[in-house]
Structure 1
Amino acid sequence: MRLHILGICGTFMGGVAALARELGLEVEGSDANVYPPMSTQLEALGIELMQGYKAEHLQPARDHVAPDLVVVGNAMTRGNPAVEYMLDQSLRYVSGPQWLGETLLVDREVLAVAGTHGKTTTTSLLAHLLEQASLGQASREQADLSPGFLIGGVPGNFGVSARLGSGKPFVIEADEYDTAFFDKRSKFVHYRPRIAILNNLEYDHADIFPDVAAIQRQFHHLVRTVPGNGRLIVNAHDDRLAEVLAMGCWTPVETFGIGRGDWQASLIEADGSAFAVHRAGELIGQVRWPLLGHHSVMNALAALAAATAAGADPRKLLTAFATFQSVKRRMELVGEVNGVRVYDDFAHHPTAIATTLAGLRARVGDARILVALEPRSNSMRQGAHADALAPSLADADAVIFLHRAELAWDASQVTNALNGRGSIVPTVDALIDALREQVKAGDQVIFMSNGGFEAAPRRFVERLRDQ
């Protein structure tokens, strides 16, 4: 079978392409933005890439075989030339999540990680824990836990965002965003997990959800798909998730939290780099690892609980946390120059910003924290989180806000609330200049954006080295 994937260079659809190729299928695809690193990763797998969304990409020609099936990414819309040709010619088509669910996940034990925050890190950590559990298995009679996975980023321990794996488990980042232009359900309803993590739930994706209740309804649809012999791993601190479960729940629930829940953590270090784990009141052991923040501890508890539900021994997994290599762009240290540490962080929501900065503040004490912030997500650009941004930056000593010309709201409402700690710039070049004027030895500089940020973190490091 030959697949053509529309939107192939996105992280999710690129992962779908890699998995299809690993299954032995012929795979090609097109995208408006065909460039490294995704393009080089896919080409190395023998996948033909085409620039743009042209009807002829789906047409048979002397040197091109028409696809048997078109897999449609959720960035595709009506009016797109390839989409219109696909519909006019009655080509077979399916969404990426549906293809995954029906082709690959149907025979696997699916572990899905859902939530507004922490999906990519928790999915990566869960895959790492299961991989370590498989390496530590004593006999061949035990079920192989070496997982397949599809992750919305590149986990440091694996170096790829997707693989089939040799064992029964398949770990997937379960996004609540809609599936395709023809399927407005959340992606995660296609995955049919046996074990599902509900990490947290806040309002986001203002472009498709009118309010938080609409998101809760989608999470309830996910809960409806988890079987009675499965497991729900649920944040014990989250009232909105409790409301989701109150809509109906047919699956055993285990909760996790710091000082509450079935799985509990108690901090040994205030920055979250060391903590003790208890299950049902019994001490499991201690974790010491390179990540920071209460949110990271919560992610760790969720992953540990899910790995245990899949058959791993939690006590034997605790040492695996020390070797976890986080995902690219999650508080990734880009460089250190003359005592200035520069981080790149995939910030997309005020809560994520606040918890990340709180974890860093606990680590660095009184050292100055400088934040370069780009409001890049759809919700950020629409101003859905504008009122919460200034409070989320409480641990920052200075904030430089990138206000691009296309931003639909006035960023001064954020910077004015920062009481002299905030400033606005119109371009990335101006932002780097402003940071260079303020920075001094001992500072911690964090670039926060869920977009490319025009490579600003690495450009700033180069600027520091040049001067």
Structure 2
Amino acid sequence: MHIHILGICGTFMGGVAALAREAGHKVTGCDSGVYPPMSDQLRALGIDLIEGYGADQMALKPDVYVIGNVVSRARAADGTPKFPLMEAILDSGAPYTSGPQWLAENVLQGRHVLAVAGTHGKTTTTSMLAWILDHAGLQPGFLVGGVPLNFGISARLGGMPNRDKACETAAPSAEVKEETAQRSGDTQQRAQPSRQPLPEQHRPLFVIEADEYDTAFFDKRSKFVHYRPRTAILNNLEFDHADIFDDLAAIERQFHHLVRTVPGSGRVVFNGLEESLTRVLHQGCWSEQRSFGAASSDFQAQGEPQDFEVLRHGASVAHVQWQVGGVHNQLNALAAIAAAEHVGVTPAQAALALHEFQNVKRRMEMRGVVPRVGGGITVYDDFAHHPTAIRTTLDGLRRQIGPKGGTSSPRILAVFEPRSNTMKLGTMKAQLPWSLEDADLAFCHTGGLGWDAREALAPMGARAQVADNIDELVRQVTAVARAGDHILCMSNGGFGGVHQKLLEALAAPAMA
């Protein structure tokens, strides 16, 4: 099959392209602004890339066009279509589909899909789960919205599970069956687990980051509705994507659509601390449920985020000691452990894998250290872009480096860009001072914003500065940076290469 992907350089569509190529299909694609690193990765796979969306690409005559979410029916002020290729596809009647639909029909069919959904932590938790299963010999396929450092790639097809390496079968234990029966107050809401092994021993596994954003301009359902998981993680849920959702209730409805697709023999793993997820499940759930995080949850953590006991029903079943910090990652780990258990990996096995987990690129990724007398200045890169994610990321770093306060205490300089569609709309601007409480100083890049960042950050007083361009931002940060500082750069985009510019500016002779 020859597929031509419109919007191929996006993280998700690039992963679809890699999977299609690995499966033996001919893959070509187009995008605007075809640039490294994604362009280099795709070309290395033998995928031809075309700049722009010109209608002349119809001459390629692929078997199907796969349409990315970036494509729309939008027109310029003069009436010219912004995506002429899409208009030509529609006019010609050529076959087309969305990325999630193509994936569901050509990759996920016949596999035990483990889907990770949530407002925050999807990429990290998906990476953890894929690594746990791989470490156990189950050879999962995966598609992640980032690059797990343990794998070095964002997507692969996977192979057949080596269940001789996994020391526990996936069949529910007598304890699990009894507990499920005791907790099943409504048989229509909570079905009994299947008596058959879960999953079927021959079924290959596939772990996927399950996004609630819409599928395509012609399919406004959330992407994850296409995936039909047998194991689903609902990691957390709060308002986001203000460009397509009116309120939290609208997102909760989409999450319930996902829950509706999980079979009775499946498992839904959910965060017991989230009232929004409780509301989702109260709308109806017909699968085994496992909760994590709360004092009454099935899975709990006891101890510090980097060194903790995993408790199941109050009894210790594993000990996790790893290099990943933050309470949010402790919760991510519990979710991954509970999901892995559903396919036969014990919590103890999962903990061994997490000891070797290297996190994901752009998740508290150290980009460099500039030497200074008294301690180097460390620059980090993180994908955080929602106020809650910014706050939890800063909390994780603060726990790692020590408390805020005295003149000799390590300082955090938060450098951030409100770049997501939700943040650009200003929907959550009032939460920014709250999200930045753990930062000693904050620096905001305002390029492209439709609201006044200075006004939004005014409650922070002199702790916050605003810059209209990257060069000004770099000057502001370097003017106050001192030995021992930790500079955390946060954006869901490239951020104008600010990380490297900061490292170079701080290393300049005048700054040393």
Structure 2 equivalent of residue 62 of structure 1: none
1:442 to 480, 484, 500: 484
Q: Structure 2: which 5+ runs fail to align?
A: 74-80, 161-203, 403-408
8 Å CA contact 2:319, 2:348 repeated in 1: no
In terms of Rg, which structure is larger?
2
Shift in Å at residue 317 of structure 1?
2.2
Structure 2 equivalent of residue 155 of structure 1: 148
Q: Provide the secondary structure at the position in 1 that maps to 2:473.
A: helix
Q: C-alpha separation between the residues in 1 aligned to 2:508 and 2:329?
A: 35
Structure 2 equivalent of residue 74 of structure 1: 69
Q: Which amino acid aligns with 1:166?
A: G
Q: Provide the secondary structure at the position in 1 that maps to 2:136.
A: helix
**Pairs within 5 Å for 1:31-430:** 31-59=31-59, 65-78=60-73, 79=81, 80-134=83-137, 145-167=138-160, 168-257=204-293, 259-267=295-303, 269=304, 272-338=305-371, 339-365=376-402, 366-404=409-447, 406-430=448-472
Shift in Å at residue 114 of structure 1?
0.1
Q: C-alpha separation between the residues in 2 aligned to 1:155 and 1:414?
A: 35
Query: What percentage of aligned pairs have identical amino acids?
Result: 55
Q: C-alpha separation between the residues in 1 aligned to 2:396 and 2:370?
A: 22
Shift in Å at residue 258 of structure 1?
5.3
Q: TM-score normalized by structure 2?
A: 0.86
Q: For residues 286-326 of structure 1, what are the alpha-carbon distances to aligned partners after superposition, in whole Å with 9 as ceiling and x for unaligned?
A: 11111111100000000111111111122122121121111
Count, aligned residues: 448
Q: C-alpha separation between the residues in 1 aligned to 2:482 and 2:58?
A: 55
Q: Provide the secondary structure at the position in 1 that maps to 2:362.
A: coil
Moved more, 146-155 or 358-367: 358-367
8 Å CA contact 1:367, 1:443 repeated in 2: yes
Q: C-alpha separation between the residues in 2 aligned to 1:199 and 1:177?
A: 15
Shift in Å at residue 70 of structure 1?
0.3
State the Cα RMSD in Å: 1.0
Q: C-alpha separation between the residues in 2 aligned to 1:47 and 1:280?
A: 49
Structure 2 equivalent of residue 140 of structure 1: none
Q: C-alpha separation between the residues in 2 aligned to 1:258 and 1:266?
A: 11
* Stretches (4+) displaced over 2 A: none
Q: Which amino acid aligns with 2:250?
A: A
Q: For residues 204-248 of structure 1, what are the alpha-carbon distances to aligned partners after superposition, in whole Å with 9 as ceiling and x for unaligned?
A: 001100111110000000000000000000000000000000111
Q: C-alpha separation between the residues in 2 aligned to 1:52 and 1:26?
A: 20
Shift in Å at residue 341 of structure 1?
1.1
Q: Which amino acid aligns with 1:236?
A: G
Q: Structure 1: which 5+ runs fail to align?
A: 60-64, 135-144
Q: Provide the secondary structure at the position in 1 that maps to 2:319.
A: strand
Shift in Å at residue 367 of structure 1?
1.1
8 Å CA contact 1:401, 1:411 repeated in 2: yes
Q: Which amino acid aligns with 2:259?
A: V
8 Å CA contact 1:259, 1:266 repeated in 2: no
Q: Which amino acid aligns with 1:288?
A: Q
8 Å CA contact 2:385, 2:417 repeated in 1: no
Q: For residues 363-407 of structure 1, what are the alpha-carbon distances to aligned partners after superposition, in whole Å with 9 as ceiling and x for unaligned?
A: 212311111111000001100111111111111110011111x31
Q: TM-score normalized by structure 1?
A: 0.94
Q: Provide the secondary structure at the position in 2 that maps to 1:110.
A: strand
